[in-house]
Amino acid sequence: MSSIKIRTKQFEEITQIRTLIAHPMETGRNKDEQGNLIPAHFIQELTVKHNDKVIASSVMGAGISKNPYFAFKFKGGKAGDKINISWQDNLGQSDSQDKILK
């Protein structure tokens, strides 16, 4: 099961992309119940593609909240086009999800 949920909506010439990513986003500064530091674990790179062309890219740090939500708008997009969202975190884990516009 993917960690990425994608919702899209089209308005005339604009396409809106909303995504929710299931990820712990630990800063490395929080402590567990025993008082031990929880190791840093956060998304470092987020990429959004439209038909394999990068339309948004972000490099992030540990200051993003758990299960982050992102929203984007771009000009263009039509039924049948592919949206791809992918991420990679500081531990080398990654995920990717496609959505076909309707």
Tokens of 46: 């987020």
Compute the mean pLDDT over every residue in the chain, rounded to the nearest whole number.
97
Sign of CA dihedral 95, 45, 18, 84: negative
Beta strands 94-100; 82-89: pairing state: antiparallel
* Domain extents in the chain: 4-100
Q: pTM of the full predicted structure?
A: 0.93
Sign of CA dihedral 73, 75, 79, 84: negative
Query: Which pLDDT tens digit goes with each residue over 15-26?
Result: 999 999 999 999
**How far apart are the C-alpha atoms of 15 and 7, rounded to whole Å?**
11
Q: What is the pLDDT of residue 1?
A: 80
- 17 within 8 A of 8, measured Cβ to Cβ: yes
CATH of 4-100, one of 2.40.30.10, 2.60.40.10, 3.40.190.10, 3.40.50.300: 2.60.40.10
Query: Which pLDDT tens digit goes with each residue over 40-72?
Result: 999 999 999 999 999 999 999 999 999 999 999
β-partners of residue 2 are none
